Structure 1
Amino acid sequence: MLAIFLETLPFFALIGLGYAARRTAFFSEEATAYLTRFVFYFALSAMLLRFSATLDIGALFSWDFVWAYLSASALIYALVAGVALARGRPLEEAAFEGQCSVIGNVGFLGIPMLALLMGEAAVGPVMFVLSIDLIVFGSLVVAVVNGARDGRMSLGMLRSIGLGLLKNPMIMSITLGLLWARTGMAIPGPADQFLSILGAAATPGALFAIGASLASKSAERIEVASWLSFAKLVLHPAAIAVAVLFIFDVDNYAGAVMIACASLPVAGNIFILAQHYGVAPQRVSASILVSTVASVVTVSLVIGWLVQV
């Protein structure tokens, strides 16, 4: 367990470095925003495109994998959203609390860390998890919020969801990479080198950006944030583990990667959505902060357990 903790420590140290740089004003809020955009639109997209272009989607795809992740995540989502409704929170807030309980920082933290800790073969399952998060749960929260406000589903809302997915560079990079993989051709040398150099900036850039963005997060409503962090860091991976080990026929390695993905802290993009819609941004912010700090220990415990089993 100590060995796993020491392997994950450099990742969290980079997050800590970004946090310190922002807190000391060495790195401004504007610089943080631009670094995040560089990672999101360029470095991480290059990494995903290069990885997905080498994947055999037919060999990797499994409906058991998809249903295991979807069903277990939906269960935790419904539980947490139900608790929020029982506390008297409106449907929009319940949707965002449910989002916090199942959407982890798979893109910025999961891909680079799990590729190193579990091998490059982990990238395929990680991308499946990322795609489900973005397409299913990312669309769900938008649909619930707009539906609750308008009282109905509208064509404009569906168009907005579709355009949002098309504009997401992670979805587009994975799609383009898989389309290239279908051709059976290798990426031309200069293009591969270009993607490799640009993609290499994703890991340090993403981790530094996470830390810098955390410096502006608030720890208000700590009780709710602690509950949401517990749901994300403990209940979500536990539900995924039950689905993978006892219900669905998921490959052992792919299942282990899925559980590791579920153990990651609350994703930062939920705060962007919460701020955009004006729905509990401080609560989401606190959940990101608390879960990220706690994940220094919990992620090591989960991966250490996965290595042993």
Structure 2
Amino acid sequence: MLDFYEIRKGSSMVFAVIVPIFLLLLSGYFSVKIDLLKKDQIQVLSLFVVKIALPALLFHALSSKNFQDIWFPSYFAVYAGVTFFLYAIGVYIFRKFYRENFTDASVLAMGGAMSNTGFIGTAILTLLIGASQATTYISMILIIESVMLVPTVLALAEAGLQKQAKLSDLIKNTIFTLLKNPIFLSVVLGMLCAMLQLHIPKNIDQVFMLLGQTASPLALFVIGAGLVGLSIQYVNIQSILLVFLKNIVMPLLVFLGLSYLTNVSQEMVYAGTIIAALPMPTLFGILGQVYGLNEKSLTPLVISTVFGFMVISGLIAYWW
């Protein structure tokens, strides 16, 4: 049973991590709400985070380490296994029980299997365990999400619309898209530098470090700004199911998998579980709009954002 000191310590850590995050979210929200910034200006900030700041943070952190310190196959395998297991379950449920067409089921299932790792995950883990360790755990999950899951979702969605006639065209388009993705390139190049022991000149590496330091606060600011105009309008069993899969089942499976199927450190178990408990990614809402699923994607996204922070706060209070 936890004593008073442990409870007070856990509560202090929650406040130390969650309060700054909420303040950054609120600052972004009210900046748009009172017209200090416009939505299109926020989109520019979002592009800066995704294409410059976050890649710089990942490259700086990975390239400065030894490869054996940043690559953990068992951690990668467990998280990837849970991700694709939940995605497959989601597609099956939406097809079998809710009679969604293949394209809609492929997109909706993504909400229950992917976290907002790059934006919220980077910020929370950096505050908890420092940027160096945080980027190690985050980079492997970004590979799973950006290189494996998202292309799968898009491929299946397009296959459902019968827009991709040939497998060769699909593979070519996927590779071309990945080669234009700064996050993917930064992770690959950072790991190559670590593997080959290539050292970046100090002055250049400092530039990457300074750019990377802007990633976490700007990412949270952008997420807060993006909440303006969103509302819960379409709450049904499907929305609740997606939130349950994402914020309850996914972290539970990752925790059990890392705890009992691997010999990774306790810190890695906690980090992987917290990433799995994060809210759904904003990309889920974007793809929902692209494929005409606005209400079916935006409502669970908003609920997951609120509920995800509640789950994470509980985990931080219990573990830290």
- 5 Å-filtered alignment, 1:223-302, equals 223=236, 224-276=238-290, 278-302=291-315
- 5 Å-filtered alignment, 1:48-59, equals 48-59=58-69
Residues 1:237 and 1:183: Cα distance change in structure 2 (over 3 Å) = same
Q: Does 1:161 align with 2:138?
A: no
Which of 127, 147, 159 is residue 147 of structure 1 equivalent to?
159
Residues 45 and 218 of structure 2 are in contact (CA less than 8 Å); yes or no, is this contact kept in structure 1?
yes
Matched-pair identity in %: 23
Q: Does 1:125 align with 2:125?
A: no
- Which residue number corresponds to residue 27 of structure 1? 37
Q: Does 1:69 align with 2:82?
A: no
- Which residue number corresponds to residue 137 of structure 1? 149
Residues 1:254 and 1:34: Cα distance change in structure 2 (over 3 Å) = same
Q: Does 1:18 align with 2:28?
A: yes
Amino acid at match of 1:184: Q
Amino acid at match of 2:232: A
C-alpha displacement at 1:44, in angstroms?
Answer: 1.4
Residues 1:236 and 1:200: Cα distance change in structure 2 (over 3 Å) = same
C-alpha displacement at 1:152, in angstroms?
Answer: 6.0
* C-alpha RMSD of the superposition: 1.9
| Helix, strand or coil at the partner of 1:30 | helix
User: Aligned residue pairs: how many?
Assistant: 306
Inter-partner Cα distance in structure 1 for 2:293 and 2:242 = 13
Once the two structures are superposed, what CA deviation does each residue of 1:63-100 show, in whole Å capped at 9, x if it has no partner?
A: 32222112222222223222222111112221222211
Stretches of structure 2 that go unaligned for 5 or more consecutive residues are: 1-9
Amino acid at match of 1:266: M
Which of 82, 88, 91 is residue 102 of structure 2 equivalent to?
91
Residues 1:213 and 1:193: Cα distance change in structure 2 (over 3 Å) = same
Residues 1:200 and 1:215: Cα distance change in structure 2 (over 3 Å) = same
Once the two structures are superposed, what CA deviation does each residue of 1:17-38 show, in whole Å capped at 9, x if it has no partner?
A: 2112222222211111111111
Residues 233 and 299 of structure 2 are in contact (CA less than 8 Å); yes or no, is this contact kept in structure 1?
yes
C-alpha displacement at 1:185, in angstroms?
Answer: 4.1
Residues 92 and 279 of structure 1 are in contact (CA less than 8 Å); yes or no, is this contact kept in structure 2?
no
TM-score, structure 2 normalization:
0.89
Residues 1:202 and 1:59: Cα distance change in structure 2 (over 3 Å) = closer
Stretches of structure 1 that go unaligned for 5 or more consecutive residues are: none
C-alpha displacement at 1:298, in angstroms?
Answer: 1.1
